[in-house]
Homo-oligomer: A and B are copies of this chain.
């Protein structure tokens, strides 16, 4: 109910270029350019200035974008309250999440919603956590399941979002089947300090998680290889190239020559998985139901693990 051109401006404020805004919103660059020009005309404000080969927000533009945060939140709030009060049904619902969350949490959620609300059109997008936030801003999705990143620019108290912790997913270590420790059930990071490690490229989502785990125990690992997909990580380990960290949620499903060990010791590295929505929308019955389903699934995963560990 907020003018889509203002939404576009907010997306631009996030990514800084017309092209990226177009990619994120689903418009063409020309359309974004025209929209922002029109927005300035209608409001009678100069929101953008040329800056080199790109554009930059003016002070007025930054002011407007920052001030629109509570406006969006209030609209979401009103919408949610009206849906709740009137017992109305939503037509479209967009979900976003990163790979293992998409598989383990989002897929069951979408399936459940499809049965409880047959008229609802559910769309699931697999995307990196940072992109999930952008997609929330762009209103392409309404709920995201992501890994909480303290290093990220989206803090707990960001005025644009509200977040709920779903579960803490521990990191395991995966080692080749012919490794001396392969017969063990658990290992400590110190024991594996001298191993060649496999990680993601610096700057990626999990790299900071990786380094954080090791700095916590005062060890600097030797990074031997880099991989993006967990599949690749596992394959590298199976080929005996080194050892790696693997979140418990990521399945090993019968990989050759790979063993998963629980990490013990004073620090057990985990990644925190949270659900994020646009601020104000959390009271919506659909969001509430979804969060409930997610929480049930998360709890089931946790209790399954407890039973496994016995």
- Contact assessment for B86 and A45 in the assembled complex, using a CB-CB cutoff below 8 Å: yes
A296 interface hit (Cβ, 8 Å):
no
* Copies of this protein in the complex: 2
Chain B residues with CB under 8 Å of A79's CB are 43
A90 interface hit (Cβ, 8 Å):
yes
Chain B residues with CB under 8 Å of A59's CB are 85-86
Chain B residues with CB under 8 Å of A82's CB are 43, 45, 60, 63-64, 67
Chain A interface main SS type: helix
Chain B residues with CB under 8 Å of A44's CB are 83, 88-91
A217 interface hit (Cβ, 8 Å):
no
In the complex, which of the residues A1, A41, A43, A70 has the most CB atoms of chain B within 10 Å of its own CB atom? Answer: A1
Chain B residues with CB under 8 Å of A88's CB are 43-46, 60
Interface pairs (5), CB distance under 8 Å:
A1-B2, A43-B79, A59-B86, A71-B71, A71-B75
- Contact assessment for B43 and A1 in the assembled complex, using a CB-CB cutoff below 8 Å: yes
Q: Which of A12-43 contact B (CB under 8 A)?
A: 41, 43
With beta carbons under 8 angstroms apart, the residue of B63, B67, B68, B83 that contacts A45 is B83
With beta carbons under 8 angstroms apart, the residue of B1, B63, B81 that contacts A6 is B1
Chain B residues with CB under 8 Å of A75's CB are 71
Minimum Cβ distance to chain B for residue A75 (Å): 6
Chain B residues with CB under 8 Å of A41's CB are 91
The 7 A-B pairs with the shortest beta carbon distances in the complex, nearest first, are A60-B86, A67-B78, A45-B88, A1-B3, A44-B91, A44-B90, A64-B82
Question: What is the interface of chain A, defined by CB distance below 8 A to chain B?
Answer: 1-3, 6, 41, 43-46, 58-60, 63-64, 67-68, 70-71, 74-75, 78-79, 81-83, 85-86, 88-91
With beta carbons under 8 angstroms apart, the residue of B3, B46, B63, B68 that contacts A85 is B63
- Contact assessment for A78 and B64 in the assembled complex, using a CB-CB cutoff below 8 Å: yes
Chain B residues with CB under 8 Å of A63's CB are 81-82, 85-86
Of all chain B residues, which has the CB nearest A86?
B60
CA–CA, A63 to B88, complex, Å? 13
List 16 other contacts, CB 8 Å, given A2-B2, A44-B90, A71-B78: A1-B6, A43-B79, A43-B88, A44-B91, A45-B82, A45-B83, A45-B86, A46-B86, A58-B86, A60-B85, A60-B86, A63-B81, A63-B82, A68-B78, A71-B71, A71-B74
Of all chain B residues, which has the CB nearest A74?
B71
In the complex, which of the residues A78, A79, A89 has the most CB atoms of chain B within 10 Å of its own CB atom? Answer: A78
CA–CA, A91 to B38, complex, Å? 13
- Contact assessment for B60 and A81 in the assembled complex, using a CB-CB cutoff below 8 Å: no
Chain B residues with CB under 8 Å of A6's CB are 1
Chain B residues with CB under 8 Å of A78's CB are 64, 67-68, 71
Minimum Cβ distance to chain B for residue A158 (Å): 18
